[in-house]
Amino acid sequence: MLQSQEKRLKIGQIAARAGVSVDTVRYYEQRGILPAPVRLPSGYRTYPPSSASRIMLARRLRAAGMSIDEIVDALAAHDDGGTCGSEIWRLEAVRERIDTQIAQLTELRDVLTPLIEACADGCCELTPLTAFTGDGTPRPPASPIPSVDRS
């Protein structure tokens, strides 16, 4: 075997080192997180050992809230010479998005709390029978439910 081939690992070996499935390795390759592998004459994909670290980094970034497209862009910028200092804005953008989501979820929680309390007190506003007064006219809700922008 050539020396360069000895240093390369098959897809199953990369998957095992990275703690992912072979399908995940193929998906990351397809999405551009991993460069195209070298193929042996038999058709087997082979990867440099550093591919396992790249997969683990991509999974950490995904767990931190980055989308696959954001991860592809961040890794491409890194490959082109970007540094943590020049790319920190990407992580800051994710943090801002998470802060917005937390605010929206907090607002939804604040809407649910009085509904839960009303249900616990036997005045559930979610039951259709209690949504009307005795003469059949609609009963206004006890507290207005604000709309939440989910975009």
- Look at residue 5 in the predicted model and tell me its pLDDT: 47
> What is the C-alpha to C-alpha distance for residues 4 and 98, in angstroms, rounded to an integer?
43
- Look at residue 95 in the predicted model and tell me its pLDDT: 95
Phi-psi region of 18 (alpha: psi -120 to 50; beta: other; left: phi over 0): alpha
Question: What ranges do the domains of the chain cover?
Answer: 1-65
Contact status, residue 90 vs residue 74, Cβ threshold 8 Å: yes
Token pair of 125 as six digits: 């506003």
User: Measured on CA atoms in the order 60, 63, 67, 68, is the torsion positive or negative?
Assistant: positive
> What is the C-alpha to C-alpha distance for residues 99 and 103, in angstroms, rounded to an integer?
6
- Look at residue 49 in the predicted model and tell me its pLDDT: 94
- Look at residue 56 in the predicted model and tell me its pLDDT: 97
Question: Domain spanning 1-65 has what CATH number?
Answer: 1.10.1660.10
pLDDT, averaged per 10 consecutive residues of the chain (151 residues), comes to 66 96 96 93 92 96 94 93 89 95 94 86 66 59 56 55
- Look at residue 118 in the predicted model and tell me its pLDDT: 84
Contact status, residue 118 vs residue 142, Cβ threshold 8 Å: yes
- Look at residue 132 in the predicted model and tell me its pLDDT: 54
- Its pTM stands at 0.69
